[in-house]
Amino acid sequence: MSDKALAAQLKREVERRRTFGIISHPDAGKTTLTEKLLLFGGAIHMAGSIKAKKAARHATSDWMTIEKERGISVTSSVMKFEYDGYEVNLLDTPGHQDFSEDTYRVLTAVDSALMVIDSVKGVETQTKKLMDVCRMRDTPIMTFINKLDRDGRTPFELLDDIEQSLSIECAPMTWPIGMGKLFQGVFDLRNNLIRFFDAQGGKSTRPKEAVVVKGIDDPTLDEHLGAQAAAELRTEIELLEGAGYPFDEKRYLSGEQTPVFFGSAVNNFGVRELLEAFLRHAPAPMPRKAETREVSPLEEQFSGVVFKIQANMDPAHRDRIAFLRVCSGRFNRGMKARHQRTGKDMLLHNAIIFMAQDRAGVEEAWPGDIIGIPNHGALRIGDTLCGKEPLRFLGIPHFAPENFRRVVLKNPFKAKQLDKGLSQLTEEGAIQLFRPASGRDLVLGAVGVLQFDVIAARLAAEYDVDVLLEPMGIAAVRWIDSDDKDAFARLEREYASSMVTDADGHPAMTFASEWRLEKAVEDWPQVRFLTAREV
Ligand code: G4P
């Protein structure tokens, strides 16, 4: 292919790609929404397929299930589908008990996110955490307020909740007409359309097709909705015009505003409109910062960054799959790429691409796509693969863990194996390890507690080491850094017993309570206490 033809194809492929994740608190409806999106995309053919996997995952959390689940989650953690000429990559951000650092890192590989909010519950804790991560990179976010078929909070309360709790402007794109039993549908504010709700399986006599009205004052509104509902809708929209924000694509793209849609995922109501607006407004693959410069997806030189490792899919082979997001250029099967960290070339002949229910060998991939590269430990989280020009992508962070365990070795003669196991699992990003400056107990840190079960089980199965992971009196850890060498040395002296280093040798400090952490931040203004550290 000539350079010109490649450049043209690259541009086309980039423009039609959308790579995103769904963020939500457990039970808000992420799985249901995912399934509806995949049905639209023709990536699955039967409602219930994704739910069945989820049910299997939550049945028990013993090791066998975790192990079995890995087989499933690799295939379902990236879902690719086509819709209306777009190539969509939906990255799963595990919620629930398996909430972990993976969840955070996946968000570094997307260009935008969909946020699902339960209309009964409003903004919940996990949503807040995930939103904080999105904010680190100003990720654009579209919002779907779900479960309008239930009696929830009023739309005004919900918008206010989002604006207050998440500090983001809301721009409603649709407006609900009633809710719960009285839910009639939504008014499409930009196109002056009424879309009627029809509970799936219900015997509604409503027209399935949306009707166009001449604005909110159109008298036919009364015929369609009934006089009272029409009057209420008019009052609400009048209020909204005074108080709400109109949609502004620029503000959405810079992460300052979220367009809001109302609907009911389980009834497949409002999902198509959400998908279509999403494809139209959400960003195509964006440039990405490397150490030396910003890399545009349109550059012909191939590059990509590893954001997740799934290890030991097959315990007999100790294989790992590195999930790589293509950042620029075209990927071809069998191509060579430079492994930036080691400086060696890697032959990429057996990379795989993930489909909703399957995975397949990949012949070709473009910026925004996620490919899986089987390897035996050569690739780590944060690694860059690139062409001749050495590049190192930034922005795959370690997040300060929130849960801590002391490692107790059952058989002291296995210290060497333990060391090896822990260092490999740490490299893989499965857990974080902190070594105390004084004292011998190794400290494991995790964002989600399920990570500990996985680590203990994997140490036993893969390294033949039995450990106990005991709770300990640590409430928080922060990486520490300061330009004031004297102050830093004083802090280290005064809190010698709280000083630790992470697996890469970076200094950090542990705290017995949130209060102590706050106090340290207050007392030591010369020192930075960091919640995230770039890999
Ligand atoms: P999650 O992935 O965010 O955890 O949520 P999930 O989709 O599993 O949905 C959580 C529950 O909410 C499910 O009920 C689901 O059916 C229900 N749900 C999703 N969308 C809607 C909606 O628009 N309206 C109503 N009323 N419910 C909705 P469940 O009882 O946990 O499971 P199921 O047995 O009903 O599938």
* Residue 433 CB–ligand 1 contact under 6 Å: no
Query: In this predicted model, what pLDDT tens digit does every residue of 248-272 receive, in sequence order?
Result: 999 999 999 999 999 999 999 999 9
To the question of whether residue 149 is assigned a binding role by annotation, the answer is yes
* Residue 26 CB–ligand 1 contact under 6 Å: yes
CA 282 to ligand 1 center in whole angstroms: 26
Among the residues of 244-374, which ranges form H helices? Answer: 249-253, 271-281
Query: In this predicted model, what pLDDT tens digit does every residue of 94-151 receive, in sequence order?
Result: 655 555 677 888 999 999 999 999 999 999 988 998 898 898 889 999 999 999 999 9
Helix axes 155-166, 125-136, angle to 10 degrees: 50
3-state secondary structure at position 95: coil
Q: How many CA atoms lie within 13 A of 463 on its CB side?
A: 22
Residues with Cβ within 8 Å of 298's Cβ and at least 6 positions away in sequence, in order, are: 7, 10, 11, 14, 328, 367
What DSSP character marks residue 438? S
Note the residue count of the chain: 535
CB 177 within 8 A of CB 281: no
Over the range 431-469, which residues count as b (16 or more CB within 10 Å of their CB) and which as e?
A: bbbbbbeeeeebbbbbbbbbbbbbbbebbeebbebebeb
| 241 — pLDDT class (breaks 50, 70, 90) | confident
**Where do the domains of the chain lie?**
22-74+112-281, 288-386, 400-534
What DSSP character marks residue 290? B
CB 325 within 8 A of CB 370: yes
Q: Residue 478, class by beta-carbon neighbours within 10 Å (0-12 exposed, 13-18 middle, 19+ buried)?
A: buried
Output the residue whose Cα is nearest ligand 1's atom 4: 27
Query: In this predicted model, what pLDDT tens digit does every residue of 481-528 receive, in sequence order?
Result: 999 999 999 999 999 999 999 988 999 999 999 999 999 999 999 999
CA 266 to ligand 1 center in whole angstroms: 7
Taking the CA of residue 34 as reference, the ligand 1 atom at the shortest distance is 7
Domain 288-386 superfamily per CATH: P-loop containing nucleotide triphosphate hydrolases (3.40.50.300)
Query: In this predicted model, what pLDDT tens digit does every residue of 26-77 receive, in sequence order?
Result: 899 998 999 899 888 776 666 666 666 555 554 433 444 544 444 434 445 7
pLDDT recorded at residue 315: 56
- Helix (H) and strand (E) counts for the chain? 15, 33
* Residue 180 CB–ligand 1 contact under 6 Å: no
Domain 22-74+112-281 superfamily per CATH: P-loop containing nucleotide triphosphate hydrolases (3.40.50.300)
CA angle 496, 497, 498 (to 5 degrees): 90
Chain position carrying tokens 């796509």? 369
Query: In this predicted model, what pLDDT tens digit does every residue of 443-478 receive, in sequence order?
Result: 999 988 888 988 998 899 889 999 999 999 999 999
pLDDT recorded at residue 317: 58
To the question of whether residue 376 is assigned a binding role by annotation, the answer is no
Closest CA to 386 of 285, 504, 284, 292: 292
Hey, which of 27, 198, 267 would you mutate to test ligand 1's pocket, going by the most ligand atoms within 8 Å of its Cβ?
27
pLDDT recorded at residue 71: 40
Fold match between domain 288-386 and domain 400-534: no
| The model's pTM | 0.86
| Distance in angstroms (rounded) separating the CA atoms of residues 103 and 302 | 26
Taking the CA of residue 265 as reference, the ligand 1 atom at the shortest distance is 23
Hey, which of 125, 266, 267, 269 would you mutate to test ligand 1's pocket, going by the most ligand atoms within 8 Å of its Cβ?
266
Mean pLDDT, residues 399-423? 91
CATH topology assigned to domain 400-534: Alpha-Beta Plaits (3.30.70)
pLDDT recorded at residue 203: 46
CA 383 to ligand 1 center in whole angstroms: 37
